[in-house]
Amino acid sequence: MAVETLITLLEHTQVFRYVNIASIALLYYDYCLTLSSEVDVIWPSKWNLIKILFVLVRYTPFFDSAVLFYHHFAPHVSPESCFKAYTANGWLFYAGGALAEMWTATAIIIAKFITSLGFAVALYPGFRGCMVLQGSSLLSVVWILLMVFNGGRMGVTSDLLKIVYRDGITYYFYLFGATSLAMP
């Protein structure tokens, strides 16, 4: 592997880590900001489908973040362990998206993306986490589809739903950009 390629790969790995850690920090920040409302409104309510979906959507990202920390910072991770961690992240991402959007068209894209990944063993002593050597840019299609899907629902008349959809589209646009920048 050429030195320039190695440097670029390490830079992309670091950007990917920064984006993920920033996202996890925002997750915990949002959780802290909204916990009191959740305790007041959600916790005392009766269990029903909406409450179950809320709890699943609310708490699956915490499992996802634990796997992210593993594949970013675990010492001496084998390519097989990296593949398992990225597979778990992919399916947790899919499950959270399917629950939140009630839309499962991304499953094929996630599966193809996961199978396109290739990992390297630690490139230098002390390197932590997984080193992605290859991967399809197909994952960016998920963000585009979600933006189009949410954008298609902008014809709603409720002001609250307009804000939710607008913010959702902005969120997916941000994630698309961050993912595109972090792709090796």
Span 52-111, pLDDT tens digits: 878 888 888 898 889 888 888 888 888 899 899 988 888 887 777 666 664 555 677 777
Residue 163 is predicted with a pLDDT of 67
CA–CA dist 66, 117 (Å, integer): 20
| Residue 76, token pair as written in the block | 């001496």
**3-class SS at 19?**
helix
b vs e for 85-99, b when ≥16 Cβ sit within 10 Å of the residue's Cβ? bbbbbbebbbbbbbb
pTM above 0.85, yes or no: no
| Residue 52, token pair as written in the block | 């179950």
| pLDDT tens-place string over residues 105-137 | 567 777 777 888 888 877 777 778 887 778 877
